[in-house]
Amino acid sequence: MITTRNKKFITYVVPTVLGQVSFLLFTVIDGIFVGRGVGTNALGAVNIVMPFVMIVNAIFMLTAIGGVTISAVRFGRGDIKGANQAFMNATFLNMVFAVSLSVIGIFFKAPLCTLFGATNTFHEMSIEYLFWYSIFIIPSAFSSFLQSYCRNDGSPMLVSIATLISTVCNIFLDWLFIFPIRWGLKGAAIATGISQTIALIIVLSHFIQKKGNLRFERIKLQGQLLKKIIVRGMPECIAQFSTPITTILMNRVLVEHLGDTAVNAYSIISYVASFSMGIFYGTSEGLQPLFGQSYGAKNEKDLKYYFRRGMLVNVIGGTFINLLLLFVAKPICFMFGTTEETLNFTLTAMPKYAWGFVIFSMNVMISSYLYSTKRSTQATVISFLRSFFINSVMILLLPIMFGNGVIWLSFGIYEGIVLIIATILLKRSERNGIIYH
C-alpha cells in the first residue's frame, strides 16, 4: 500500500530526477555530436568553456533555490501572498544576473577562455562556443528558474514534459546544425539555446494559465526579502561552484602533468559525471519543497522520513552507476568518436574518478536538507569547503605528493573529507532536536 508520504515522494522526486536527467542529456548529446561531427579537440574546447556555463548555472541557483526555499516554507504555513512576494523578488534578481552574465560572455569571450586555460589547440573553438552560448543566457536562465518554481507550485510533471520535449528538440537541432548545415560548435550552442527557449515557453504556461498559487504581478522590491533570498540560496550557489572550479583546476593540472590527451579524456568523464549527478541533484531538488513544507508545518516525522529516503535513493543510484560503468565505459567513449589514444586514457581514468559519485550523492542530500530547513550557516560551510577549499587543495597537492596517477582519485578523496565534516555538522545541529524559526 502506498502511503501519503510515499505518494508525495514519488510525485515530486521521480519527475524531478527524470527532468534533471533529460536536461543533462543536453550536454551529453552535444558532446556526442561535437565529438563525431567536429572532432575530439572540439570536445576539449567545450570542456574549457564548461566552467563558465557552470558558474552561470550556479548564480541562477542563488535566485531559484533561495526564492523557492522561502516560498516552500511559506506554503507550509499557508502564507500564499508571502510565497508570491518571494517569487517576484527572486524573478527580479534573476533578470539582473541573466543580463549581466550575457553581456560578460558576449563581450569578454576571449579573455575568459584564456582564463579557463585554453591553449592554442582549443582557443578559437572555445571562443566560438562561448559567444553563442552567451547569446541564449537570458531564456536559458528563466527556463531553469521557472522550472524550480513550477515544481514547487504543484506541477512537477509539467517540468518533466518541458525538459523531455526540449531534449528531443536538442537532439534534432544538434544533428541539423552540425551535420547537414555544418555550423560546428556554433551549431551545438545554438541548438541548446533554442531547446532551452522551448522549455521556457512550456513552463510559462503554468503561470500564464494560473494553474497554481504563484502569479506574475507588479514587483514590489523588499530589501530584507532580497537579502533573505541570497542567504537561503547561497549554500546551493556555492555548491554549484564546485564543478567549474574543479574543472578549471583539473584542466590546468592535466595539461601540466599529462598533456592535451588527458584534457580530452577528462571532457568525456565530465559528460558522464554531469549526467550521473543529475540523478543526485534531481532527488535533492525534488525533495526540497517537501523539506520546506514539512519544516513550515513543523512536521519532524515527515522531515526525517524524506531525508532518509532521499539518502537511500542517492546511495543506491551512485552504486548502480559505478557498476554500470564497468560494462558501458568503452561504448560511451565510442559514442563520442574518440581517438584510440583518448579511449585508452579514458578507460583507465574513469573507474578512478567514478567511485566518488557515491560520496558526492550523500553530500548533495545533506546540503539540501540543511538549507531547506533554515540551517543556511551549516549548509554554506559544507558548500564552501567542497567548492573552494578542500577540492582545490586535493587537486593541486595530491599529484605533487603522490604522482600523476592520483589526479583521478582526487574527486572521491575530497568528497569523502567533506562527508565527514557534513555528518558532524548535521549531528551537532540536531543534538537537541530540530529548531523551528
Q: Hey, where are the domains in the chain?
A: 12-429
Q: What pLDDT does residue 297 have?
A: 81
Q: What pLDDT does residue 23 have?
A: 63
Distance between CA atoms of residues 149 and 155, nearest Å:
9
Residues 6 or more apart in contact with residue 119 via CB below 8 angstroms: 255, 260
User: H or E element: which one contains 158?
Assistant: helix 156-178
Residue with cell 578542500: 390
Distance between CA atoms of residues 355 and 315, nearest Å:
11
Q: Provide the 8-state DSSP code for 388.
A: I
Tell me the angle at which helices 356-372 and 410-429 cross, rounded to the nearest 10 degrees: 30
Q: What pLDDT does residue 376 have?
A: 80
Residue with cell 543506491: 316
Distance between CA atoms of residues 73 and 428, nearest Å:
23
For residue 436, give Cα distances in angstroms to 34, 231, 359, 374, 375. Answer: 50, 17, 29, 8, 10
Q: What pLDDT does residue 92 have?
A: 94
Q: What pLDDT does residue 318 have?
A: 87
Distance between CA atoms of residues 77 and 18, nearest Å:
29
Q: List the grid coordinates of 109.
A: 569571450
For residue 398, give Cα distances in angstroms to 268, 392, 395, 401. Answer: 22, 10, 6, 5
Burial label for 213, CB within 10 Å (0-12, 13-18, 19+), is middle
Q: What is the pLDDT along the chain (437 residues), one digit of tens a residue?
A: 567 788 888 877 777 777 677 666 666 677 778 878 887 788 778 878 877 887 888 888 888 888 888 888 888 888 889 989 999 999 999 999 999 999 999 999 999 988 887 778 888 889 999 999 999 999 999 998 998 888 878 787 888 888 889 888 988 998 999 999 989 889 989 998 999 999 999 999 999 998 888 889 888 889 899 999 988 888 778 777 777 778 778 888 888 877 777 877 888 887 778 777 778 888 887 888 888 888 888 888 888 999 999 999 999 988 988 888 878 788 877 777 777 788 888 888 888 888 888 999 999 899 889 888 878 888 888 888 888 888 888 888 888 888 877 888 888 999 999 999 999 999 998 887 777 66
Q: What pLDDT does residue 27 have?
A: 64
For residue 387, give Cα distances in angstroms to 115, 310, 361. Answer: 18, 22, 15
Question: What value does the CA radius of gyration of the chain take, rounded to a whole number of Å?
Answer: 21
Q: List the grid coordinates of 193.
A: 539555446
Q: What pLDDT does residue 437 have?
A: 67
Q: What is the pTM of this model?
A: 0.74
